[in-house]
Amino acid sequence: MSNGRVEAVIVPAVGRVMQFRFAGEEEGPFWENREMDGKAPDPESKDWGNFGGDKAWPAPQSDWPKMTPRAWPPPVAFDSRPNEARVDGFEVKLTSAVDPHYGIRVRREIKLDLDRPVMTVATTYEKVSGRPLQVGVWVITQLKDPLAACASLPEFERFREGYYRQSDELPPNLRIENGLLLLTRDPKASHKVGTDAGALFWVGKEAVLRIDSPREVFGEYPDEGCSSEIYTNPDPLAYVELEMLGPLSKMVVGDRITRTSNYTLLRRREVDPDLEVRRLLIQ
């Protein structure tokens, strides 16, 4: 898809938005695992088919071993089965199979703004079969190794330190300054932190990507109340994940829940990544 300013590369065979980039360019901020080129997802594999790109999983992850025969890889219909795709006007609509354990079908509607460098993805979970369960929409965007990954913290933070630690060790260079959490990828170890932010940022050498999915005032969020999370992966797969989570909902057959994320891609204008993000926050 292209609007003349930006374009999205959607691959139904792996159920992902694989790239979001400036129109006419070969590269973009999304991380793509070139080792998986030409391969199909295998729902029977014990190893995760890590293609990269942007996808949706059921939250919380701690429920996976209760709902499925395995704690990892992710539930099959959410991650390792092809999607059906349909073009509807200026939108592309992806539809997954019904997950055999969650009884949920995932629908994703992807569109580009007519005259802005913005992609909007609405992710809907439909409860089709099975017993009632509590679940939330969880959108994971894998991105190339950045100069900085950031979260814009709300004025009244839920977490005493400004974040919720989700790995044994914190990123060695994590810092919070004037409501902005910043970190970079550690090449030697993985790290993860959660926040109650509604906006996350990826800052590259030439571009900056902003992902917005505002937190709802009411509702129970997974992972001790996190509405967004940042994960960093060690070498040799040099990527980070900016993750947006919705509140948990008790779903019975016939129910639907939806979360919408807006992705804004801009050229860098500031030398300092911190200043780059702050400039976007006041626009």
Q: For residue range 197-242, list pLDDT tens digits in order.
A: 999 999 999 999 999 999 998 899 999 999 999 999 999 999 999 9
- Residue 145 located in a structural domain: yes
pLDDT of 16 > 90? The answer is yes
Please give the helix or strand (H or E) that residue 65 lies within, else none: helix 64-67
Return the pLDDT at 283.
Answer: 67
Cβ of 253: how many Cβ atoms within 10 Å? 12
Does residue 11 form part of some domain?
yes
C-alpha distance from residue 218 to each of 122, 227, 248 (Å): 20, 12, 11
90-136 per-position pLDDT tens digit? 999 999 999 999 999 999 999 999 999 999 999 999 999 999 999 99
What are the pLDDT digits (tens) for 65-89?
999 999 999 999 999 999 999 999 8
Strand ranges inside 53-147, DSSP E: 54-59, 84-88, 91-95, 104-112, 118-127, 133-144
- The pLDDT of 23-29, averaged and rounded, is 96
The secondary element (H helix, E strand) that includes residue 77 is helix 76-79
Residue 163 lies in a domain: yes
Q: Please report the pLDDT score of residue 155 as a whole number.
A: 85
Token pair in block for residue 77: 């219909």
Share above pLDDT 70 across residues of the chain, in percent, rounded to a whole number: 100
Residue 189 lies in a domain: yes
- d(C-alpha 179, C-alpha 234), whole Å: 27
Q: Which residues constitute the domain of residue 186?
A: 6-281
3-state DSSP assignment of residue 267? strand
The CATH number of residue 47's host domain is 2.70.98.10
Count of domains observed in the chain: 1
Q: Would you call 260 exposed, middle or buried from its count of C-beta atoms within 10 A (0-12, 13-18, 19+)?
A: middle
Residue 1 included in any domain? no
Nearest to 183, CA basis, from 147, 159, 155, 153 = 147
Query: Among residues of the chain, what percentage have pLDDT more than 90?
Result: 94
Instruction: For residue 66, tell me if it sits in a domain.
Output: yes
- The whole-number pLDDT of residue 215 equals 96
**What is the pTM assigned to this prediction?**
0.97
Is residue 20 included in any domain, yes or no?
yes
Task: Compute the average pLDDT of residues 272-280.
Answer: 90
Q: How confident is the model at residue 281 (pLDDT cuts 50, 70, 90)?
A: confident
Torsion (CA) 139, 163, 171, 152 in degrees, nearest 10: 70
